[in-house]
Structure 1
């Protein structure tokens, strides 16, 4: 008989100390149909697509994310409908929460990397995690798009049809 493990994804302590909520909700107007929301369960590392039908909540879809993936997904969700700058993604990726001090450090580090010609090397770990995160968000009809020399933005996946209730 095989044991089933219900392990929790380890969440960066700094983020949990900053945020008292375990589940964050995002309506993402323009990306999701009216009345739909995404619920990010931080301790479990799950993102759920929720809607209501006949006054009852319905879970339409769910994906599991690693801690690193959550660290890049959170600032993108927070920034929507605007773009998320590179330095915010790097700060969140490195520390689990993009505080002003962490963002300033990341901005300086990226500027130095640009001047030294090693910007791609500096961004590679973040881009690798974004690539895995992008594959998972596509199932929700959400694309993570790059904006050249600026950052990333959430957009609707072309020709995606949201589940009907």
Structure 2
């Protein structure tokens, strides 16, 4: 007979940030039209594009993200309109949390990888997850763009028309 574990499964919210809000809202001025919001449900792993029309919220679209994808998407959303440094993405990817200690550890790790000539191998798992997340954010008209030797930034896809209700 197989033993069944009753241990609670770690959800993205417990993995990412304890004591975090369940749904985080981002207006992303300049990327989204005025009055539009992205809502990231960290428990379900969904990103929803919302707009208020006639005093009622309407969901224009929604995408499901894995825990790993949320770990790289959340720091990008938090950093907007600025770029998110490599070490912040690596810290969030590895531990699900972005704090000074985790970022310093990731910065040191990337410096050592650079000196050893293995920086690409160190960042490959993060880049792979970013690539999957990028495919999903494009449906919102948002591109995850690389900034050479710096990090990543959220930008508007060229000629993207935002859905209207």
Contact kept in structure 1, 2:51 and 2:58, CA below 8 Å: yes
Distance in 2 between the 1:12 and 1:27 partners?
21
Contact kept in structure 2, 1:113 and 1:122, CA below 8 Å: yes
Tell me the matched-pair count: 157
1:75-134 alpha-carbon deviations (Å, 9 max, x no partner): 000000000000000000000011110000000000000000000000000000000000
Contact kept in structure 2, 1:9 and 1:66, CA below 8 Å: no
1:88 is matched with 88
Q: Secondary structure at the match of 2:33?
A: coil
2:41 is matched with 41
Distance in 2 between the 1:105 and 1:121 partners?
17
**Which portions of structure 1, spanning 4 or more consecutive aligned residues, are displaced by more than 3 angstroms?**
none
Kindly report the root-mean-square deviation, in angstroms, between the aligned alpha carbons of the 2 structures: 1.3
2:5 is matched with none
Q: Secondary structure at the match of 1:13?
A: helix
Distance in 1 between the 2:81 and 2:73 partners?
14
Shift, 1:18, TM fit: 4.4
Distance in 1 between the 2:19 and 2:25 partners?
16
1:32 is matched with 32
Q: TM-score, normalised by structure 2?
A: 0.92
Q: Secondary structure at the match of 1:94?
A: helix
Contact kept in structure 1, 2:13 and 2:22, CA below 8 Å: no
Contact kept in structure 2, 1:46 and 1:65, CA below 8 Å: yes
1:144 is matched with 144
Matches within 5 A, 1:46-125: 46-125=46-125
1:13 is matched with 14
1:4 is matched with none
Shift, 1:27, TM fit: 0.1
Matches within 5 A, 1:123-142: 123-142=123-142
Shift, 1:14, TM fit: 5.0
